[in-house]
């Protein structure tokens, strides 16, 4: 409780300062518990090697994007993508997404890296892919974007705020409109179905929730996965993903 109350006081003091921030997220509340990271122990060459669970998954070319998208999480995801590309540029990377969204700039850093690297990136929605999370979901390689049956996907326009002089407020208002247009164009570029920027802008005017089947119908994803196949020839096999 002390950590949460301290965080609120810090946030209130920071919020009082002039700033501009574009967010692309759903609301979330402070949690009062800590979940330790599981450790994996392996017998390697007669000795024991201990990994945290995410490092072990990274060996299998699996990257997990969990929680709000911020600069710290973005830096970690980008570093993992670059590392895996360096290890094997032709092999697929599997990005599991469970996120309410977050910072536009942090999210676009991940998006640009996905497009930049040579390794194909398959995206899989578990839980939810809301706001910036949905944009990262649709950014995966064509034919390799998935959602599990009870996943929830939400799209909407970005939000932001600025405190300062009237002329500066006008400048930042113009900037957030430019960002909205850029994000809408990204959706248009990646959706399986043909939409105009104007149609996407109208669709994202308010929070637009959909189940996995709705995301498939809209063209955000390529398939809804029920179970993972074990055949090596299957696109959903254990060796190729998800």
Residues marked active site are found at 131, 156
Q: How far is Cα 132 from Cα 106, in angstroms, rounded to an integer?
A: 9
DSSP type of residue 40: E
Q: Cβ atoms within 10 A of the Cβ of 48, count? A: 8
151: Cβ contacts below 8 Å, ≥ 6 apart: 125, 126, 127, 128, 129, 211, 212, 215
Q: How far is Cα 135 from Cα 132, in angstroms, rounded to an integer?
A: 5
- Among 166, 163, 159, 167, which residue's Cα sits nearest to residue 183? 159
| Residue 170 contacts residue 131 (beta carbons within 8 Å) | no
99-134 burial, b at 16+ Cβ within 10 Å, e below that, comes to bbbbbbebbbbbbebbeebebbbbbbbbbbbbbbbb
Look-up of token digits 């996905």: 114
The angle subtended at Cα 154 by Cα 140 and Cα 73, nearest 5°, is 60
Element housing 174 (H / E): helix 166-190
Q: How far is Cα 125 from Cα 99, in angstroms, rounded to an integer?
A: 9
């Amino acid at each position: 409780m002390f950590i949460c109350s301290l965080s609120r006081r810090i946030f209130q003091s920071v919020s009082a300062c002039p700033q501009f921030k574009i967010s692309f997220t759903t609301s979330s509340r402070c949690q009062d518990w800590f979940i330790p990271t599981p450790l994996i122990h392996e017998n390697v060459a007669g000795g024991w090697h201990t990994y945290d669970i995410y490092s072990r998954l990274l060996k299998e070319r699996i990257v997990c994007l969990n929680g709000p998208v911020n600069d710290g999480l973005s830096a970690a995801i980008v570093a993992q993508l670059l590392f895996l590309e360096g290890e094997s540029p032709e092999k697929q990377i599997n990005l599991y997404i469970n996120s309410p969204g977050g910072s536009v700039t942090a999210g676009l850093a991940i998006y640009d890296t996905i497009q930049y690297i040579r390794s194909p990136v398959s995206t899989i929605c578990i839980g939810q892919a809301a706001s910036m999370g949905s944009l990262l979901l649709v950014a995966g390689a064509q034919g390799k974007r998935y959602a599990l049956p009870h996943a929830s996907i939400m799209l909407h326009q970005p939000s932001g705020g600025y405190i300062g002089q009237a002329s500066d407020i006008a400048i930042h208002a113009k900037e957030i409109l430019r960002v909205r247009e850029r994000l809408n164009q990204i959706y248009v570029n990646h959706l399986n179905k043909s939409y105009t920027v104007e149609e996407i802008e109208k669709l994202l005017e308010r929070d637009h929730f959909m189940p996995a089947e709705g995301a498939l119908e809209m063209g955000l994803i390529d398939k809804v996965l029920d179970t993972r196949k074990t055949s090596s020839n299957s696109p959903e096999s254990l060796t190729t993903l998800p």
